[in-house]
Structure 1
């Protein structure tokens, strides 16, 4: 029953949590870009419909190429968050935000994390403008700054936070109606047959021991606009370990401000330049 495929979601979540909790999730230099936990190949290799540009239609779940569409739009905002309680009873929360103005060649990102309600290291902020990357690490009282020539690929990094293409359960997603999100009409798709999803959730919660977890609830939904862009995704589960320990996990992804996002200079920029 356990799939031979390595679900990208669990890899992204576990690596991201490890990086943020350890204070290592800072903007990499050009020589260390491959250490960024969100730089995965997943968004570029999934689905036969990647380059169709066709809109979704009824029961046919279909995504278009997000990189092409977002480059054409020129700007966007991506928000991602994860909250979970693992088998040890530790509560972890991570948030990531990306704002990109591709036409102005500016971007801003912020990562925060907390363990059992306590903030970890104050967060990491990154601002890119005119080919220079500026980084702020820590809280207001203990912030440190650095800068370097060059930048990471913010578009690929932000797209990687969407798991709809990499999820591996596209055939099981069923059409659940239309609604409005961020001012645009979207089609809602929900997961109806969640065998692989349950294993996925169990692996994340049980720290690699899915057989020790009884999943009691699971939900997964994707909102897709008429261009085939995933605008919102949500995933949530709860379960119980063999010893009775309750575990939970949820994440949420949103793509907003497509074509209307602007990126302002952060208040700390002068300190980073000093």
Structure 2
């Protein structure tokens, strides 16, 4: 039961940070610098108190902003370090998602590295979607394969198409699962943002946290622009259950809104 709750918690954390996407800025603030204005900072960013932040409102505002602009880039880096039974394993995922909604094109580059102490294993996947057709390039253990698919996957192992019809990031779990307060202002990708720092205890119900599970060492920052669009999220925490501990360290960054182009990859003929 605790394993199921832990999986729910990890999913809650990564659903906002992972689009099967990633690679990105650092957990020290990435593209911006805190101006030290504290809780009174508003500037040209989001003029809402931290206690009044609502995850669904921010998710909807971000989607509206991106979809009206027509294109975007999302970069994400996520690291999970799991300790169980005296064994430790680290999994790092770096992904970059570029989508042009107006052209109905998108490309997702993802690299995942798993290190269990006996040597790291790396796998990379690139998916390019043009309309209803998706192409995939996979590299693992020195071997590269290519395939093509029309529409949605019909079986396990099929290609998960890039969503070229909408902005699919969801920030609800991250925003509502933790408490936030205004902590300054800065810029992300040249746009003014308000910074919100994680503070206080997590919402156990929102995070689906079991009675015997705890969250420790939680820290994070949200960067929200004047339209209510979430431009960057940095978050880190450790979940402890009866089975062991899992430390999560993740960053997702939204950039090039309205200026992202998607080019046909050079390997496309190999997958056709």
Q: TM-score range by the shorter chain?
A: 0.5 to 0.7
The corresponding residue for 1:219 is: 219
Runs of 5+ in structure 1 lacking a partner?
A: 16-24, 26-54, 204-208
The corresponding residue for 1:78 is: 74
Instruction: Report Cα offsets for 1:196-230 as digits up to 9, x if no partner.
Output: 379959x6xxxxx77366x5521022111111111
Structure 2 distance, partners of 1:103, 1:177, is 35
> How many Å apart are 1:232 and its aligned residue?
0.4
SS of the equivalent of 1:143 reads: strand
Structure 2 distance, partners of 1:8, 1:199, is 10
The corresponding residue for 1:31 is: none
Which 10-residue stretch deviates more, 231-240 or 85-94?
231-240
Provide the alpha-carbon RMSD of the alignment: 3.7
8 A Cα contact 2:178 2:200, kept in partner = no
The corresponding residue for 1:230 is: 230
Structure 1 residue runs of 4 or more that deviate by more than 6 Å after TM superposition? 5-8, 239-243
State how 1:40-51 maps to structure 2 within 5 Å.
Answer: none
Instruction: Report Cα offsets for 1:102-136 as digits up to 9, x if no partner.
Output: 1111100022211116233x221100124321111
> How many Å apart are 1:150 and its aligned residue?
3.1
8 A Cα contact 2:178 2:202, kept in partner = no
Query: Is it true that 1:118 corresponds to 2:114 in the alignment?
Result: no
SS of the equivalent of 2:197 reads: strand
Cα 1:182–1:131 shift into 2, 3 Å: same
8 A Cα contact 1:79 1:97, kept in partner = yes
Query: Is it true that 1:270 corresponds to 2:266 in the alignment?
Result: no
8 A Cα contact 2:104 2:164, kept in partner = no
State how 1:231-250 maps to structure 2 within 5 Å.
Answer: 231-238=231-238, 248-250=247-249
Runs of 5+ in structure 2 lacking a partner?
A: 21-44, 153-160
Cα 1:139–1:170 shift into 2, 3 Å: closer
> How many Å apart are 1:169 and its aligned residue?
2.6
Structure 2 distance, partners of 1:264, 1:249, is 33
Say which of 159, 168, 174 aligns to 1:159. 168
Structure 2 distance, partners of 1:14, 1:224, is 19
